[in-house]
Chain A
Amino acid sequence: MRRLTMLASAALVGVLSTPLWAIDHSNLDEGRPLRFEDAYPVAHGEKVIETGVGASFERKHDDRIFLNAEALYGLVPNAQIGLGTAFSTDPREVDGQEKSGDLRLSALYNFNQESLDLPAFALKGQANFPTGVDSSGTDLGFTGIATKSFGRLGLHLNAGYTFIGGEKGDERDGQYKVALGTSYPLGAPQRTRTTLLAGLFTEQSTFRGDKNVLGAEAGVRYQLGTQSTVDLGMGSEFAGPDQRSSLYVTAGISYSF
């Protein structure tokens, strides 16, 4: 635990001290730093590199450090594609369909801008390829995303289902996930560089017969410069099967160009 704390702190200091220069910093992407995202893609023509480091303190397994990276590109108007991966210590102990080293390809299409009455809607498709440690089968996921604001408070609903390939034993062949999040620009209107985030999520457990995972998380995003945003997040899977995370923390940086 102590070793993990030191490593996470060092990584965070490293991230925060990197000299950097997101116009789109309020655009929320999955994992940076929380599980939910908003219904908007990166701008057309924008390229973003998102990286993060984190630690998960497990109830039954050994604690883990994870690193993740994703490249996003606004390929056509209102759509982004992404390619990412994540690595974890003790990779053979990772439960779930996404293993350490898997490649993840995603595409998000936004249907509309939020208006006075209508939320913004988006659809995200994701394929997870078994390139990682002990991974098998390609997983396909679809997530519907809606964003509705009240004043400056944004509400984001993500509801998705993943079709799992290569499941073994009692593992499920499909899993739904639902996340509900909020975002708020701290200090707005005068200051809009800091966005506070909080969310609740639930997902079906990896193994049949186990209870759903329930969790809560909170985080912050801060625009460092014209092209860069840092983020910090933490959360807990407070209910569910025994093999879950009692606490996880993450820190990351996104760079647009």
Chain B
Amino acid sequence: MMKRILTTAIGVLLLAGCHPGEGQWVERDKRWPPPGPWRWAVRDRLPELNTEFNGIDFGHAHLAETLIRTQDPDEIEQARQEVLAFIWSAPPVSPDEEQVGPTFARMAWEVQKTFDWTHILHRSLYDLFGSDVADKEAAYRRILENYLSKPEAITPHMLDHAGKLWSFPESKTFRDKFPQFNTQIWAYHWLQAAASDVQLMGDATKQRELFKPVIEHYHAYLRKPPVEWKMMPMFHEVAPEFTKRFPQAAAIFDNLHMLHDNVDDVLCRPDLYPNLKDKRQAILKIHAIYLHRNHGPDDTYAEYHGGEHGGHDKKEAPAPQGAPKENPHHEH
């Protein structure tokens, strides 16, 4: 019997362990949010904000899947409207991004992993600052350390978003071809940054009050995307207090948002990257820059190091409280 067991086990292992498909053998590494008393605080205490974040989760995945399939402006616009409809539905749970964008997930799982893990960091920090945890700074350091310990984590160094990272052959294509969808996405990023500063202004009860005008302002952006914006909103502009107190997290989130822009640009250029494998190679090449940790002057990718503001000029930020000012993201 033991011989039969061993033969069967070895047979199955050999079958499962063979590595056909050059360069596409990727470990899944799906992770559960890190444990802590803050978990689910936004869901339970800030449900209005939670539904907005659930809506945002759908937006990127649906856009990527649509851009892989088509560049037809009408279909892209239809996808944008579908995202809006999803957001207006106030979804109580996050969509399953692997089912929303199945082709992208299978084409570039390494990048999807980075998105997922960084979104978990983002959600964990929102939960933390919506919770009653007394020593939030210590908990922040714990969450950040855990995030950075995983290989798919994005560097906490500010990269040169406005310069080198937006100077690839495909850069700015999505912005210029589909300005409404592009700025709709930037509006998600605006809300995500604005929420970070609002959360530093009081406890969950106070935050619920403060979020009302902020969410209204965000909805106005969704109804009329701010196409005059020529660069993505940055944390130091929209969430100056959060950026001052938690610069590494702010840099990670700015980098994440820029990585989203880079991916959308690649997906918008079938002339440069005609098939899925070409798209995958182009995206992975850029992805490696974001995973690299040090970005010192003599290190690999040194040219992508962005200094204090990721290559953006320091400008007055649209304050998240009460009546936010217009976002001055014009190209300069």
Complex interface: chain A residues within 8 A of B30 (CB): 24, 40-41, 43-44, 74, 78
- Let me know if B323 is at the binding interface, CB within 8 A: no
1/0 per position for A19-32, CB-CB distance to B under 8 A?
00101111000000
Asked if A174 contacts B4 (CB within 8 A), the reply is yes
- Majority secondary structure, B binding face: helix
- Map CB proximity to B onto A109-149 as digits: 1 under 8 Å, 0 otherwise: 01111111110111101000000000000001011100001
Q: Contact check, B93 vs A44: say whether CB atoms are below 8 A apart.
A: no
Known pairs A23-B94, A111-B17; A151 contacts B28 (CB<8 A): no
CA distance A2 to B136 in the complex (A): 58
The total number of A-B Cβ pairs within 8 Å is 133
Does A209 lie at the interface of the complex (its beta carbon under 8 Å from any beta carbon of B)? no
Picked from B32, B96, B109, B277, the residue with its CB within 8 Å of the CB of A74 is B32
A163 adjacent to B32 (CB under 8 Å): no
Judge whether A78 and B28 touch: CB under 8 Å.
yes
- B178 located at the interface, meaning its Cβ lies under 8 Å from any Cβ of chain A in the complex: no
The answer to whether B102 touches A149 (Cβ under 8 A) is yes
Tell me if A118 and B21 are in contact (CB < 8 A). yes
Is B99 a contact of A185 with CB atoms below 8 Å? yes
A121 to B87, CA, bound (A): 35
Contact of B20 with A by CB under 8 A: yes
The 4 closest A-B pairs by CB, nearest first: A115-B24, A45-B32, A46-B32, A192-B96
Query: Which B residues have a C-beta under 8 Å from some C-beta of A?
Result: 1, 4-5, 8-9, 12-13, 15-17, 20-21, 24-35, 40, 43, 58, 61-62, 65, 82, 85-86, 92-96, 98-103, 106-107, 109, 276-277, 280
Complex contact A115–B25 (CB within 8 A): yes
A40 to B101, CA, bound (A): 18
**Assembly CA distance A149 to B94 (angstroms):** 22
5 A-B pairs whose Cβ atoms sit less than 8 Å apart in the complex:
A111-B17, A115-B26, A122-B16, A173-B1, A192-B95
Q: Roughly how many angstroms separate A88 CA and B1 CA in the complex, as a whole number?
A: 30
**By the criterion CB–CB under 8 Å, are A226 and B40 in contact?**
yes
Q: B100, A116: Cβ atoms under 8 Å?
A: no
Q: Whose C-beta in chain A lies nearest to the C-beta of B34?
A: A45
Instruction: Output the residue of B12, B13, B85, B86 with the most chain A CB within 10 A.
Output: B12
Within the complex, what minimum Cβ distance (angstroms) separates A74 from chain B? Answer: 6
For B83, the closest partner residue in chain A by CB is A190
Kindly report which residue of chain B lies nearest to residue A183, judged by CB atoms: B99
Contact bitstring A190-229, B, C-beta under 8 A = 1, else 0: 1111000000000000000000000000000001011000
Write the nearest CB–CB distance from A161 to chain B, whole angstroms. 5
Distance in angstroms between the alpha carbons of A173 and B86 in the assembled complex: 54
Q: How far is the CB of A179 from chain B (nearest CB, A)?
A: 15
Interfacial chain B residues near A193, Cβ < 8 Å: 93, 96
Query: Which of A42, A142, A191, A226 sits near B12, CB closer than 8 Å?
Result: A142
Considering the complex, give the chain A residue whose CB is closest to the CB of B29. Answer: A77
CA distance A190 to B106 in the complex (A): 19
Q: Which of A41, A125, A140, A188 contacts B99 (CB 8 A)?
A: A188
**C-alpha gap A114/B105 in the complex (Å):** 9
Q: Is A59 an interface residue (CB 8 A)?
A: no
Q: A45-B35, A123-B12, A189-B65 are in contact. Are A115 and B109 (CB under 8 A)?
A: yes
Cα A173 to Cα B1 with chains together (Å): 9
Query: Given the known A-B contacts A112-B25, A190-B85, A193-B93, are A140 and B5 also in contact in the complex, defined by CB atoms under 8 Å?
Result: yes
